[in-house]
Structure 1
Amino acid sequence: MSTAMSTPGSTTTHPRVVVVMGVSGTGKSTVGELLAAALGVPYAEADDFHSPANIAKMSAGVPLEDADRAPWLDAIGDWAAGRAGRGGVVSCSALKRAYRDRLRAKAPGLFFLHLAGDRELIAERMAARTGHFMTTRLLDSQFATLEPLQPDETGVTVDVAPEPGVVVERAVTALRQAPPAPA
């Protein structure tokens, strides 16, 4: 079986761009960085694509609306499109199918790694982190908005209860079993 991304010893000619998705606090940044390192591809942090207005809104505990997210998703999609055929990992909540469709419109062939966990675990993790604009006040709205991956979407859901290294190992295994990215 061919691997979907370049990994040590891989002969894949079309490495995938992976979107690490899920609600805030699932470890998208941590897992994304580790996964990118394991695959030998660049990592991009979706938070860096937000406008100052979006960050101010979320810092104030106000959920973003779809109109707020559109330019952010387009910027992430542009980054992913620029990595097509070369691979990359980007974190992005991508909570709604429509958001993932918008990303795929810019960058077909994306592989979505949905980091999932129960609300209590995620709330504990969010409460323990410092220096992030997303507050636990928005966690309920994130879970309410979340539309899990559908059977026709390329990707995998991985439980975040284990430590990040285990999550990354499971993600790499899923990528190896995935069909190759389109040319």
Structure 2
Amino acid sequence: MEPQPVVVVMGVSGTGKTTVGRLLAAALHVRYADGDDFHPPRNVAKMAAGTPLDDADRRPWLDAVGAWARERGDRGGVVSASALKRAYRDRLRAAAPDAVFVHLAGDRDLIGRRMAARTGHFMPVELLDSQFAALEPLGSDERGVVVPVDGTPEETARLALDALRGLRGPGGRPHGGPAGGCPPR
């Protein structure tokens, strides 16, 4: 059986990381983990109160996500995590060097409308601007793809799968830098 990559579905809140991540995991026949589940309760409470997390808040969360990714090894997996800054992605790659990123990208108005319409999530729409301000696009040396989220979740997942297949190098392992259809902002 061919080794599977660990895919990190990244982007600002409201892009559909959980929904698309689950669809990708099902299509790839690998396990899915929601990055939100790795947050300590104090992080969730802070975000729910409308306070953005700082780097110190994110470190233990990133380490927990990275540990999950490392444990998946060649079995592969899909995990959703905002991973907005290059430093955050570097921290995840330090734990799981073969991780590949799928950046779900859309414009602020679309994402804001989606966030306003969802229920039962701790992240308030008021924090969206701070997320866009923190967002650093994938660098040309980062393994990953940028996928627009202006379609349905199923369409977005299909675009992501196609883009991931385009990254596969010799032996089926992902390689290369960003590809895909839309700018990160």
Tell me if both proteins adopt one fold, taking TM over 0.5 as the criterion. yes
Partner in structure 1 of residue 96 of structure 2: 107
1:106 CA displacement:
0.4
Equivalences for residues 65-144 of structure 1 within 5 A: 65-144=54-133
In structure 1, how many angstroms separate the alpha carbons of the residues matched to 2:95 and 2:157? 26
> Residue deviations 1:55-93, cap 9 Å, x none?
000000000000000000000000000011001000000
Partner in structure 2 of residue 31 of structure 1: 20
Check whether the contact 1:74–1:103 (CA below 8 A) recurs between aligned residues: yes
Select 2:10's aligned residue among 13, 16, 21. Answer: 21
> Residue deviations 1:79-111, cap 9 Å, x none?
000011001000000000000000000000111
Deviating 4+ runs (over 2 angstroms): none
Residue aligned with 2:88, SS = helix
Partner in structure 1 of residue 178 of structure 2: none
TM-score by length of 2: 0.90
Partner in structure 2 of residue 152 of structure 1: 141
Task: Supply the RMSD in Å over aligned alpha carbons.
Answer: 1.0
> Residue deviations 1:109-152, cap 9 Å, x none?
11100000000000000000001000011000000000010100
Unaligned runs of at least 5 residues, structure 1: 1-10
Check whether the contact 1:14–1:181 (CA below 8 A) recurs between aligned residues: no
Residue aligned with 1:72, SS = helix
Is 1:58 the counterpart of 2:47 in the alignment?
yes
Letter in 2 for 1:75: A
In structure 2, how many angstroms separate the alpha carbons of the residues matched to 1:113 and 1:150? 13
Letter in 1 for 2:130: S
Is 1:169 the counterpart of 2:158 in the alignment?
yes
Give the count of matched residue pairs.
171
Letter in 2 for 1:85: D
